[in-house]
Structure 1
């Protein structure tokens, strides 16, 4: 089956083609308008200026300097530079004298919102394309409707933060990875590797794609592997393992290259022993071996620093108040503690009831037709992703750094509502 971003509606009548085109334009315009004009009377969220200034640091090649000056700014991601770049371009068209210095930062952050809206529109396109590819154009419009009218999407599509960037990049990376697993070919392999790398500079939680993609590949080819073992075709098994290792190497190499490009190769190949870590996990790794201390790290200092900050925040809750859920504080003997049911309850509260009902009906139908499906080669690939993200969220101790995958749980649920 060829993979294409075209609508594939050539077989439709001219009237139906026009109707499809106008319908898509309506949905994309609706998302654009609600995202752009609803926040006109609202103030900025507390973290928008942080992301904007961090984006400026990435543009100037000073991500490390920014993180060294302010530990709270170590979650720098190159994707934030898109907001800053757009705002700077708008800023040059406006005379200095008409801008109040007290409102300058707030105005620049507001001008930086369109890239987030654009990325949200790109995500809408891919949701439509994947659903259409699975079930046809009607399913594409259903998934698109759920996305465009979702209040969480509308709210975050207008913010200068990493949420939409992370959700979009991880979703698209998973889309091309699914195409690569299902249909192969060099084009899908390259697109999958590149989008995987882009996801790594959009949101730190995208690092979870490494174990998720690995399990997906094993699950996707499990029946083939089982047959090879039964038939004792060990030479083919060894060849498959070598090919798998080669692809793993190419994925990591592509990701490392894109991460370095995103951070302008700033302080790449610094020895691991020269890093100043905050998390217990990376401190332990750093001190575990003198050989490791001398090893140069092939990613920019700011990137590994950001992962360290996220791990430290997960371990200690640094910079966060206790979680609050159902009348309880996430505290135990004076220490922060998460709730294993946190994301399940949050999902029930935040996701529209209509979407939840659609999802429930889809799961019931899935169970009813369980003997008629090929689990890994159709929509149930998405069901596995839902289960993966759910399991990972349960094991996070403080419920602090998994919002991107809560988003993805929401987005992938659209594909079960056929």
Structure 2
């Protein structure tokens, strides 16, 4: 299959169904490690199309297999399925029906695209040799993530695939544009949990107390040394505290403050050294102010590396599919992704699909926004390109022997 016309025609034929899948999932989001209904919907849909699938992989994961017309290599396509603890504010008629839970990172779109890609591949399976393995993964948004659990359950074995490919929406790219970055693409992700203890009491008598709120404030400021003074200048580093809970009152200084945050970087040696700095700064700052601080660092996803050769091939496939003018380079991002684990096990490529109408680029909402809106015209492109690129990769692997 040297031209994408057959796949494009099928993607167009199924475009309305792709949107229906996305809206169905969008209205019923489920948090990480709770994706029971989403998993059942995926399995039911695949089964209705005659596609073999197995549920319960790595938790609520679903793995589907589409064999071609002749034996050959295996290519993996992966989509994540979990939502976020966010209250939706889009006002869409298919907005989340579950208070405090929203598909604000586009995983509903990811699943919809991969479902339609599966449908297309099932239709054209006699036209390619080899096997397409489709991984519908739970729990990308919350450590320890779903990728490792699915890998432990064998999704990258029997037989070992040649490559793994993932697609993620990007609301900063125009609709239907496909973005790539070779090599280092995304940062590692570690979660920070701090518990500061003092001696609480009446806020009118701070001289008689040990104020954990003041200690927490000083720790927040002091931790910025990690990125601004201690990190090697050439190594991108982010440390952010996103939650502070004190539990006092206007006239009450609490006994305890808890904080949560994130640490991200792109160098593994510095990553481990930074953990030591975080612990030292937090505990010693608290001690200097007569309090204590317990520090827990939950080590999360590694940095995401896109295989150079694979990414170059997929980028060329994208030029053939959408046109060279609709393929763009992407910058390094400090966002994280557990697709990184697939890329550590075999050659991987993780790319972006633009979902923002060109006239809204100046005011597009970012990922994880309660107002994130996806231009559903992009889904036809995303589904078709997943399918066509998979076939192209099978052809490449077969030719390479």
Normalising by structure 2, we get a TM-score of 0.27
Which of the pair has the greater relative contact order for Cα pairs under 8 Å at 6+ separation? 2
Structure showing the higher strand proportion among its residues: 2
Normalising by structure 1, we get a TM-score of 0.26
